[in-house]
Structure 1
Amino acid sequence: MITQEILNNLPTTFGIYQYLDHQGRVLYVGKAKNIKKRVKSYFKIQDTKVLPQSNLSQRIQIMLNQTTQIHTIVVSSEQDALLLENSLIKQLKPKYNILLRDDKTYPYICIDMSEDFPRFEMTRKVQHKKEMLYFGPYPSGCRDILDSLYALFALVQKKSCIKGKKACLFYQINRCKAPCEGKITKEAYKEILQEALKVLKNKNKLLEALEQKMLDLAQKLLFEEANIYKQRIQKITPLTNFSQISYPQPYDFDILSIVKNHSHHAILIKLFMREGKIIASDFENIKSDYEIDDNDIYTQFILNHYKEKLPIIPQNILIGTDIENIKELEDFIYQYQGKKVVIQKPLKGFKASLIAIANQNANEILRQQNQQENTLLKGIKDVFKLSQTPFRIEVFDTSHHNFSFKVGGMIVFENNRFVKNAYRHYHLEGNDEYSQMQEMLTRRIESFEKNPPPNLWLLDGGKAQINLAKKLLQSAGVDIDIIGIAKEKLDHKAHRAKGRAKDTIYLLDSVLHLDTNHTSLQFLQKLRDEAHRFAITFHKNQKTKNFIKNTTYSPSELKKLLDYYGNFTTINNASKEEIRQILKK
């Protein structure tokens, strides 16, 4: 338990504090200008006992009742405390902190107007070139916009075109005017470029041009090419959702707002206004077992989003709720962006109407969210007695053949779907499944600072694997739930019959045998099977690459063999005489 002595010995300077439970697990990470003053504000002394203050939220009271230790780290400024707190939350994922996972850098479209024949490019970083124009950010659709501009306008299509000094295929199909051979003047090229810029700045005009191109191709019965434009239209259309909202002043605003519902589910919505028009939007799902603190969410987003130099720096960041550390965040942005950016919660006028628009859209996203997933995941938490609802799950499996081509795979499940862009492959060195799992989990732990841990690890394996995972996580100071799922064996082979396999579930302190029609078992089997598919597909690809690399067959011979045998494994197992006969046919 926390004692008066512990509180009295806390430092009185800038820093971060960590609340830990009796097992040494980090429950919460916080920051403070004065650590002692901040921590003591959570407690009261009653009959020589240290108890949580009665006016605290339910989340904080539960956390403080579990706290038995307080660790501190002293730093030289509150900004350093902000950064350290953010880093530790991402790396350790404490149970009572809200983690904002998504800190991706959005792409921009840029063009260097100082060049003789400028061309559009996609970038995520500031390009140190004179007369560079930037457009964005684009949370989605950036590549489709870029490809559309090059399909609609006869611009220099590739970086290497000008250097080639000779007209290429793009000139022959009328996609380029061949400035490499001097077939167009700089002035005439700039006229085409200005038309492209007008379309880039007006997404409705871009969509009109794409729809016309799609119809022209369809009328010529070129349906595959027409479908390419249809897909581009589908990806670009969401960018026009706010096209009717504009202001006569060329304001550059980033607009942030958080909307929550009663089930501890929140949406952080982000609108990007450039030159008085909202050009793009994005949102993040935030889910918790406890109440969600707006201050934590705004702080994490600002620290994540503005830590890299931005091509376009907003004049203001508009937020929907007052936060306590605005000055420190403004100082942080100034340090990293080299420009003063005002963070404010507008109360009236045009800026307040932008927040209202953000709230309206966030509420609509919340309304559309599927609540079935929450019911399922809450059930998983109860059935397996997890410490938290597994809103994000990582699943691990390994694959090898006679301990050759040893690989592993990690798949991710979140928001009722498999998150394919978060999947990871691993090349492994271990010669048994235990050491391979150890290697894979160790490498995943090493990446926690850049890619924070999930709520739950699901491992293909039994008691040995989950004990291994627990040991590795404890050594890293991270506390997340772990479940093992071991396949039922029939005649020493894994039984994967869907809906009938009697797999065994391993927890740290128990073993479960659920009925084959149990929803929770079937859900874990679904996750495990996807991880197995992902790992074994990678394993087969590695074998195929090795076969092609070491084969003496010509491409035509390989095709003939594949047509006959169907896969490389069967070819590899065939006798030389059999292959010789097939190649003679």
Structure 2
Amino acid sequence: MLEQTIKQLPSSPGIYQYFDKNSRLLYIGKAKNLSNRVKSYWQFTPTLCANSNLSLRIKKMIEQTVSMNYIVVNSEHDALILENSLIKQLNPKYNILLRDDKTYPYIYLDKSQKYPRFDITRKIINSKDILYYGPYSIGARDILDSVYELTKLVQKKGCLKSKKLCLYHQIDKCLGPCELPVTKERYQEEIDKATSYIKNKKTLIHKLQEKMEFYADEMRFEEAAELRDRVQKISRSEITSDIDFATNEDYDIFAVRNTSSKAVVVRIFMRSGKIISSSHDYININEGFDENELLFRALLDFYKDIKPPIIAPILISKDLEELNLLQEHLSRIFERKASISRPLRGKRKDLIELAILNADELLNRDKNVNNTKILHEIQELCSLEKLPSRVEVFDNSHMSGVATVGAMIVYENSKFDKKSYRTYHLEAKDEYAQMRETLTKRVNSFTKSSPPDLWILDGGATLLKLAIEILNSSSVFIDVIAISKEKVDAKAHRAKGKANDIIYTKDDLFRLKNSDKRLQWVQNLRDEAHRSAITFHKKTKLKLDQESKLLNMYGISEAKVKKLLQHFGTFNELKNLSIEEISTVLNVKDAKTIKEYYK
């Protein structure tokens, strides 16, 4: 069947998907010519098998492949877009997935304003009078706040509208153009000063340190501490360099380095001949690792499909096999020809060497060794397909069927990623249906937020099976484990310090000692999910109680409110119902009262 599918492939552009014997997605690839590309993986005599000149990684993947699908598209560029989208949604075993979905902020100045002020944006503003500075990986807000600390610009957007001097003028932080006759030349002096701080971090940090010392001498310790923290944050994105560019050149620099267990992507941004910021991402190496693909994905994911405010030539640390395709793709986004090159000499090569030096340093000083050790132990214990670098943990909470909520917490790079936490209002009444609703909501969001390496559920074998069924129906593979409290006399038992919980996998269950680090690691994540769910439940319950009291004042009793919520789920649902719908639960008089209340 597989051989027949391969031999009948069209010579059209498209994407192809390889699956293993369990129908698990192994790999998604793109092709200008599907027939030629896919056939290059295989030899057909004497039997269908992996081509002998493939890399060990690809050969291992082909040996696991028992079936394939393909989708025909109009062009190679369309294939690139579809491939990238599907990789993010489905997280195949042998593809590299970068989860850095954030866009980087820029500081901008609108010169068309009479008294312009600096602000932050993450996208292009439709005006020819905008000046951009950036991008900034971290510290953009701190730089902006520092500029307003050290200059006398208009501090807030609404200041000029008041046409009346405010506190900022009184404390000598604003020239007061809202009321005073400030000349354009005088205000420009402050703009120039602010611009010099934005362009030169060393000058900015030096000025902040001077002001910090002044505050300390004046015993204004809180303000001094605030500036100290700001200096530290601004300094964190700083890479020092002795490279001297005589001209005002801009470059985006990308480098990839790896050890046997970890890779790192480094991005450095040079503007006007000075390095203004940098960022990096660690990648735990698994069977899907390929340095060329990692660099390709890093470029594809950084620029996404949004034209950046500043378009700079791109320097890369190694040659790319599909450079022309990437240049064509970025040229469409930039709306002009994209420049991507690997410099071999001169100062541009020195920039690449600087990026590689920092990448090697990041790998050497990576502090997650102990964390990686426990991750490998969890992977081995639970027979996980991937090292669980990013983990999502789920729990639900309610009180007698009221204020039913779900929570998802995220653990990555040795810490809880609280910006990625999610909470859900649920309508389901029992634990099984609640978890189904929570997990389904998460699966539906994979198009916006890529799947993790591992799910952990607060529950037993039944909920574990449910999660696997939901994922299978969505053609997404994620390792799943569950953890439940041990039962004593048919009741969940949790004695402090003796929490002998049970870990469930698809094929086994483990009763580890409560001193086992692997159990403690899973318990720690489960407890954080429980805390998040309980916190959100309490907030929801408080809001419901307040709404209930208001309805009580209109003559709807607590018992009737509870009956409504048990039937319809939330007050938000109740607001949108008709009198006829409400009267299916309460009488018509009460239904009219409730509709009158919500009017």
Name the TM-score, length of structure 1 as normaliser.
Answer: 0.90
Match of 1:301 in 2: 298
- 8 Å contact 1:154–1:192 — kept in the other structure? yes
1:156 counterpart (154, 172, 177): 154
- 8 Å contact 1:103–1:301 — kept in the other structure? no
Match of 1:349 in 2: 346
**For 1:151-300, what aligned pairs fall within 5 Å after superposition?**
151-242=149-240, 244-263=242-261, 265-290=262-287, 292-300=289-297
Match of 2:44 in 1: 45
Match of 2:14 in 1: 15
The DSSP-based 3-state class of the residue aligned with 1:99 is coil
What is the CA-CA distance between 1:100 and the residue it aligns to? 1.1
Match of 1:326 in 2: 323
Match of 2:417 in 1: 419
Match of 1:527 in 2: 525
- 8 Å contact 2:284–2:387 — kept in the other structure? no
Aligned-partner Cα distance in 1 for 2:228–2:410? 30
Q: Per the alignment, do residues 231 and 493 of structure 1 end up closer, same or farther by CA in structure 2, a change over 3 Å counting?
A: farther
Aligned-partner Cα distance in 2 for 1:189–1:551? 55
Aligned-partner Cα distance in 2 for 1:498–1:292? 42
Opposite residue 504 of structure 1, the aligned amino acid is: I
Opposite residue 81 of structure 1, the aligned amino acid is: A
Match of 1:134 in 2: 132
**For 1:368-407, what aligned pairs fall within 5 Å after superposition?**
368-369=365-366, 370-407=368-405
- 8 Å contact 1:516–1:522 — kept in the other structure? yes
Aligned-partner Cα distance in 2 for 1:244–1:493? 67
Q: Per the alignment, do residues 492 and 179 of structure 1 end up closer, same or farther by CA in structure 2, a change over 3 Å counting?
A: farther
The DSSP-based 3-state class of the residue aligned with 1:285 is strand
1:116-140 Cα shifts (integer Å, max 9, x gaps): 1010000001111232110000010
Q: Per the alignment, do residues 130 and 2 of structure 1 end up closer, same or farther by CA in structure 2, a change over 3 Å counting?
A: closer
**For 1:23-172, what aligned pairs fall within 5 Å after superposition?**
23-47=22-46, 49-172=47-170
Aligned-partner Cα distance in 2 for 1:239–1:26? 38
RMSD value over aligned CA atoms?
A: 1.7
The DSSP-based 3-state class of the residue aligned with 1:130 is coil
- 8 Å contact 1:177–1:183 — kept in the other structure? no
Opposite residue 2 of structure 1, the aligned amino acid is: L
Opposite residue 362 of structure 1, the aligned amino acid is: A
Q: Which runs of no fewer than 5 residues in structure 1 stay unpaired?
A: 553-585
Aligned-partner Cα distance in 2 for 1:551–1:218? 51
Opposite residue 488 of structure 1, the aligned amino acid is: E
- 8 Å contact 2:243–2:347 — kept in the other structure? no
- 8 Å contact 2:77–2:329 — kept in the other structure? yes
- 8 Å contact 2:94–2:289 — kept in the other structure? no
1:175-225 Cα shifts (integer Å, max 9, x gaps): 212111134222211111111111111111110111111111111111111
Opposite residue 121 of structure 1, the aligned amino acid is: D
Aligned-partner Cα distance in 2 for 1:261–1:39? 30
Aligned-partner Cα distance in 2 for 1:497–1:123? 51
Q: Which runs of no fewer than 5 residues in structure 2 stay unpaired?
A: 551-599
- 8 Å contact 1:13–1:33 — kept in the other structure? yes
2:449 counterpart (432, 451, 466): 451
Match of 1:2 in 2: 2
- 8 Å contact 1:459–1:485 — kept in the other structure? yes
- 8 Å contact 1:28–1:94 — kept in the other structure? yes
The DSSP-based 3-state class of the residue aligned with 1:484 is strand
Name the TM-score, length of structure 2 as normaliser.
Answer: 0.88
- 8 Å contact 1:473–1:479 — kept in the other structure? yes
- 8 Å contact 1:411–1:424 — kept in the other structure? yes
| Identity of matched residues, % | 47
Q: Per the alignment, do residues 506 and 291 of structure 1 end up closer, same or farther by CA in structure 2, a change over 3 Å counting?
A: closer
The DSSP-based 3-state class of the residue aligned with 1:106 is coil
Aligned-partner Cα distance in 2 for 1:179–1:153? 14
- 8 Å contact 2:98–2:301 — kept in the other structure? no
1:98-149 Cα shifts (integer Å, max 9, x gaps): 1111131100000011211010000001111232110000010001011111
What is the CA-CA distance between 1:544 and the residue it aligns to? 3.6
